[in-house]
A and B are shown apart, each in its own frame.
Chain A
Amino acid sequence: MTRNINAGLAKFNIYNTFVNQPRAMALLLLCLSFSSILFTLTAPLMTWVLVLGSCAVMARIVGLSSTHSLPTLRTVNLLAILAVFALTWFGFSIGLLDSMINLLAVACSLKVMVVDKKRDFNLLICTCLFLIGCGFISSLSVFAWFGYTVILAFLLISTAMYHGAGISLKKNIKFVSILILQAAPIALLFFLLIPQLPPLWQMPTSKSTETGLSDKVTPGDIASLATSSELAFSATFESDDVIPAPAYRYWRAMTLEHFDGKTWSISDKRKQAEQQLAIMNKPTPLSALESSNAGTVIPYEIIVEPTQQTWLFALAPSTPDNSTNSIYVSGLFDYTLRANTPISSKKAFYLRYFPNAPISNSIGNFETQLNLDVSTNGNEKTRAWGVQLAQQYGSAQEIVMAVMTEFKNGGFRYTLSPNAMPTDPIDQFLFEERSGFCAHYAGAMVYTLRSAGVPARMVTGYQGGSSLNERVLQIRQYDAHAWVEALIDGVWLRYDPTSMVAPSRLTFGLEQALEELGESRNTNILDGLEKSAFFAAVQTWFQQLDYSWSKWVLGFDNAAQTSMLEDLLGTITPEKMRAVFLSALGLIGLILAFYFLPISKRESLPYSYRIMLKAVKLVELHTGIKREHKTLSDYRYDVSPVLNSEAAVAFDQVCELFERENYAIPDTEKHTELVMKEALNTLKKAIK
């Protein structure tokens, strides 16, 4: 019974503390913001840091009431030492960036427990703001921006509570909302006009967040990507006529030329060759293509989601338009594209597609030899089949067609979840299982062709893409694909064995293909929901929003900035830029003037007060005696000898009426005001 009462009292105490002490309220808000920041940072933060953070917040909130004591400084220092050890221990495995974020979060958690001075509080606010900045490294959506802005608002309200003695929470919320709304246009102006700089130095990137394709493919890997419907990139074309038909939307990312019997990977030999060629300054085939004016050119823009990798996806062959790209993109000798720095945030790249240009054998014999290399590690049956094909058919073309036909008619099945094939995977796939995903088909075909003496390689990338609107294609992770390129008559030709097995994969996308085969990409309860029209509409709307956000906010780079200014001003000259910056400063000044200049100051005064002020002003003008801080009666006494009798009487009347109105109980208000007005008019006449 007593305990119950005590518990009740404790609760009551906590409640009282929050209501009565603005500083306690400020701390509570800070704790809330900090815990929501922790909640959004679950990916980079280690579990023990999260636990520490939430415990610290709990301790702080409970400690706000006087009935519970906070951990002592000694305990916190001990915790700090332990945390430093733990951070250094785990630091090596999670990478520099994540360690830094963890360190900040730990420091913040520990400080939350001992915050008592103004300094501590301010430090916490700054650290939380910086953590919000770190949150933007991984979350880039509109919703993340919105959520973090709300947290920022909470932090500001908390600061306002802390510094504004006794101002109510409601007023502070109003103040901070107005402050943020007022700050938004200025921030936008800064955003549009402050030049977008290239990265100043290389920053550590997060290890855990590498997404999308990998530079090694073991058949089955791509199938795991197929469960993800996350956006990989979106491509924007100038008009809908130039968008390739669905079956031709092959977004090439990497060529995998080395096979160790199980896994396909980028060949080390090719990497070395590329390096040597770069040192020799040999022009890449893509730069040659750029200058050759070969046929039609289709410019397009891709906005790539952060992958923390350097490869880019492009319709082959495409050349980068480096005059507008904010990250320099280089073309390799296998016609793939690489960005100079890992893509750590949503980034726009401008490319030019040459639909009629072939992919040529750019390093001659080296490339041919590289792609004839057959791993002798197992898969004997396939090699024997290859040799047999080579004997059977004369030309490379025929061999390729024979393999394709075999896939078409050999009873192969397209499936997302094939059985595991641990030993001799290609033999097992071709002669026993006969069911697999695109990487199985591509791998088996390349291996067979190489055995038959036809240079071939596996190419990975994405295939397909759904249109968001008539100019924009969105390519998601489940569009990841692998196909084959065979070198025939010095030109690399694309063959897609998957198209033989599941033709609808190319034309209608993965989902359709799987549906026809009685499979589903993912099984969850939302399946039914996804099919409803309303849900689809909402989803499309969100996709549109996300795309616009990516294009206009995240993709706003130096090129976009320059083109915006060019649209506004024509060709940009230094003089024009100077004018733009000066006028921007002027505009900010105007905005500030709009916010802070008192426009309707007089309106808020009572009517009698205004009349009194007018009368005083008249008298001041006439007599040259300023009122300054004198009381009204003192001033009246001062000026009455200078005024003529009529004016003095009128002024006296105004003053008396004003005093009666304001300091005595007013009886007939309307009447007084009218009389005051009349007296003012008399005063005016008398003074003239």
Chain B
Amino acid sequence: MRKILSYPTQVIKHRLLKWLDRRVPASSEHHLNLNSIFVLPTGFGWSFILLSICLFLLGTNYQNNLMLLLSYLCLSIMLLTLFYTHQNFARFAVKALPLHSFHCNQSGELQLHVLPHVNSPNKPCHGTLTFGWFGPHRSSTQFHGTQSFTQSSDALSKTTFSIPLSGNAFNKNSQRQTLSVPVYITSRGRYMLNRLTIACDFPLGLYKCWTHLDFDQSVTVYPQPDDGPVSIEHITDNEESNSSSETSNANSNEDFYALNDYEPGQPLNRVSWKHVAKNGNWVSKSFTSRQSESYVLSIDSSIDTETAISALTLATIKLTEAEQNFGLSYKGIVVPPNKGINHMHNCLNALACFGKPESARQDSQRNGYSKIRAVK
């Protein structure tokens, strides 16, 4: 029922987005102008107009010219404020910084640099900006199931954030202001950020100026890290054996480095049994310079895909923290062993995009257009 009702609005939204794409093309930097700004009175503005009309009626009925004058003065102020509001907002220029990846159900941050506007480099834009993402989140039932979850993400996508501007004049003394806008996405994948609605009601709150800007930013949303039965296969460089004869070369070319909390999935030979015996804490020893050793993370393919991917994500993060050499092997994903932050991002990227392009396309076909468009 809800879907039937929402269908026409989806079509309208689709049209609107197409029109917006022509009118306000995507760019990482925007200098607002006549094309990109929309203005309408706010609720306060409408009540102000209503008030002026009431004063006019009162003045007419009492044949009271002062009341009429007051009413006309209010109307003129309303008229002038329209231009002031637009003039102020038309001085707003902003540039988006590349977006960092984040895990789903966590919030990422879109960093926006406030710039001096090309047309009025000396005059700043004032007021409190209100940010909100244009349109609701996609209902991502395919991956994270329940209806309530979708609704909560809808509510989150509608929340707005207010940030007061400190003035973005071209002034060598002052620091440029950076605005951070939270991005909240509930399912993994690679996304194009949708349009960001920025609104401002400076100076009197009688009008709302707003714009829908496409910053042309893409972001990879990593899967949610979670516990799971990850199997860690140990491989050595010389490919002689992959047995668990760890103890034999435990003292060969590695130095004891530190004690960490034991994480499930770590080889048992790393556990410091002394500590376990003494106070029951499972502590694992870590060693430096383990170049020669690497692992491959994998998981039983009978386990649900999302659970598996979440488990692999957690394992990837942990192993990177432990500065291990590792690779991934799960269904279609094969990442050769390596180490370091970049490697972790590669792995997480692979995990995030696993199985996504097809499903995302289906989604967009089914749901029309949504806040976040998945891309390859």
Binding site for B on A (CB under 8 A): 118-119, 122-123, 125-126, 129-130, 132-133, 136-137, 140, 144-145, 148-149, 152, 156, 159-160, 162-167, 175, 179-180, 182-184, 186-188, 190-191, 194, 196-203, 326-327, 344-345, 347, 553-557, 588, 592, 595-596, 598, 601, 604-605, 629
Contacts and interface: CB of A to CB of B under 8 A. Distances in A.
Contacts of A183: 73, 76-77, 79-80
- Per DSSP, chain A at the interface is helix
Given A179-B77, A186-B79, A200-B57, A165 B67 contact: no
Given A164-B126, A187-B76, A601-B120, A345 B63 contact: yes
Contacts of B57: 200
Q: Which 9 A-B pairs have the closest CB atoms?
A: A165-B164, A183-B76, A163-B205, A186-B76, A190-B72, A122-B44, A187-B72, A136-B66, A165-B128
Contact of B60 (A156, A179, A190, A197): A197
20 contacts: A119-B43, A122-B44, A126-B44, A126-B48, A129-B74, A136-B64, A136-B67, A140-B64, A144-B66, A145-B66, A160-B203, A164-B127, A175-B203, A179-B81, A187-B73, A187-B76, A190-B72, A200-B57, A202-B61, A203-B62
B235 to A, nearest CB: 48
B166 interface: yes
A187 B75 contact: yes
Contacts of B121: 605
B7 interface: no
B69 interface: yes
B114 interface: no
Given A133-B70, A203-B61, A326-B63, A159 B76 contact: no
Contacts of B63: 199, 326-327, 344-345, 347, 557
A207 to B, nearest CB: 15
A596 B34 CA distance: 14
Contacts of A598: 120
B155 interface: no
A156 B77 contact: yes
Contacts of A345: 62-65
Contacts of A149: 73
Contacts of A118: 44, 205
B54 A162 contact: no
Interface of B: 29, 31, 43-44, 47-48, 51, 54-55, 57-77, 79-81, 83-84, 87, 118-122, 126-128, 164-166, 201-205
Contact of B83 (A122, A144, A203, A596): A596
Nearest to B44: A122
A32 to B, nearest CB: 18
A197 B59 CA distance: 10
Contacts of A130: 51, 54-55
Contact of B203 (A164, A194, A199): A164
A314 B62 CA distance: 23
Contacts of B83: 592, 595-596
B205 A140 contact: no
A144 B128 CA distance: 36
A665 B133 CA distance: 43
Contact of B51 (A129, A184, A199): A129
Nearest to A140: B66
B47 A137 contact: no
A629 B80 contact: no
Contacts of A190: 72, 75-76
Contacts of B60: 196-200
Contacts of B74: 129
Nearest to A344: B62
Contact of A165 (B47, B64, B87, B126): B126
Contacts of A122: 43-44, 47, 205
Given A129-B51, A344-B63, A592-B83, 14 more contacts: A119-B43, A125-B44, A126-B44, A126-B51, A163-B128, A163-B204, A179-B81, A187-B76, A190-B75, A191-B72, A203-B58, A326-B63, A595-B80, A605-B122
B122 A604 contact: yes
A201 B58 CA distance: 10
Contact of B70 (A148, A166, A554): A148
